[in-house]
Amino acid sequence: MADSTATPSSVPAPKTPLKVMHVIEDLENGGAERVLINLVVGLPAQFFHTMVCCLAKKGRMAAELEERGMRLITLHKRPGVDVGLLWRLQKLLRAQQIDILHTHVFTANLWGRLAGILAQVPVLITHEHSTFTIADQTRQRIEQQLARKTTRIISVSEQLRRGLIEMGGLPADKIITIHNGLRLPVSVNEATRKALQRELDLSRFSPLIGSIGRQEVRKNYPLLLEAMPKILEHYPQAGLLLVGEGPETSHLKQLAQANGLAGHVIFAGHRQEIYELLSFMTVFCLPSQTEGISMAILEAMAAKVPVVATRVGGNPEIIADDRYGVLVPANDTHALATALLETLNDREAACTRAQAGEKFVLENFSEQQMIQRITTLYLTAYAQKCAGTVAIADTYAAKI
């Protein structure tokens, strides 16, 4: 927990720390999970007493919180519709006398808010990390109904905010954009880096294209595998480093084998040493079909690695149309391969973009900025709900 932070201007500090519970399905891996961890570790302890509830299981990233003494509760959700989960969660919320409930990703957003309503939690905050929440009409109707009882909805990008309003039919006055934040500046442990180089035999590849993320359908990693033969025509010693795991991992390995790429692709699995691995990459590539604000792209930019990504979700907000990286249409193998080759062929231009990207991330996407905005949101929402006080300055209200 952070030891201290200034009370946001015009927002009354609570007399005793407010009890905040974050709810998510699990902490297995992914960008939303990383955002949650960074947030709960950084929230100021003099304002908030923070707990985390995992609906299904803890997951491998949970150790980061437990090592810091963070309270982590698991409710062991069963597959499918687990009606008992609703009873267990609302009972937990009542027992802990939670003041602010903050949910992440569709499953937790659904069950968490239902339980929060039943338990009469004063402030309900839901965090939308992607358009997955409004992917079909059933989910849109669910979100529209729950939004009526939701205090605030956080969107991680302006594009996502517009989608939630225009496609999802959610109330514009409840949705605010707060970008994801990174723990900065970047640091690389040289001993760890050398160990990874030996373990993964990374020195055999030049150049090395890399990607980091949960290996699921919406990340569209087959597109990157389809682009690799074109890269190998020009760079026979090129390699592809895929960091992460997920439901598509087995399929991706089969694709690599079937297309004769097995000797050029490293499946590194789930890793904590993100910046050490980024330091080996000549270019970072994310071929997603949809994104909110990609933590992986932000990490690559912070590490000064040239970025090639698809023009989806919040990616244009952080790559800014070739100012800090290269954007290509989604699902276009030729465009992706061409952009990768152009980046590899003109290292000077790629380096210039990468340096500008690092500066942009340092100035606009720090963990501290994210935490300050959410701290102000919590305190303001609680003051308005429980004290009838509009304590936030007009300038800040307009900003969020």
Of 277 and 29, the structure prediction assigns the larger pLDDT to: 277
Please determine, for residue 5, whether its predicted confidence score (pLDDT) is greater than 60: no
DSSP 125-164: EEEE-SGGGGSSHHHHHHHHHHHTT-SEEEESSHHHHHHH
Residues facing 101 on adjacent strands: 21, 124
Q: pLDDT at residue 304 above 70?
A: yes
Interatomic CA distance for residues 236 and 231, integer angstroms: 8
Nearest to 292 by CA among 112, 20, 33: 33
389: left (phi over 0), alpha (psi -120 to 50) or beta: beta
What letter would DSSP give residue 202? Answer: G
Tokens 């903050």 -> residue: 102
Q: Check residues 45 and 7 and name the one with the higher pLDDT.
A: 45
Provide the pLDDT for residue 31.
Answer: 87
% of the chain at pLDDT higher than 70: 93
Q: Give residue 173's Cα distance to chain centre.
A: 23
Residue 352 in this model has a pLDDT that exceeds 90: yes
Q: CB atoms < 10 A from the CB of 44, how many?
A: 19
Instruction: Please tell me if the domain spanning 18-181+366-399 has the same topology as the one spanning 190-364.
Output: yes
- Stated pTM of the model: 0.85
pLDDT in tens, 326-337: 999 999 999 999
Mean pLDDT to the nearest integer, 208-219: 96
Looking up tokens 């937990």, which residue turns up?
A: 92
Per-residue pLDDT at 274? 96
**CA distances in angstroms from 113 to 83, 93, 117, 374, listed in the order given:** 14, 11, 6, 18
Domain 18-181+366-399: CATH architecture, name and number where available? 3-Layer(aba) Sandwich (3.40)
Q: Cα(319)–Cα(322) distance, rounded to whole angstroms?
A: 6
- Domain locations in the chain as residue ranges: 18-181+366-399, 190-364
CATH annotation of 190-364: 3.40.50.2000
* Number of neighbouring beta carbons within 10 Å of residue 187: 8
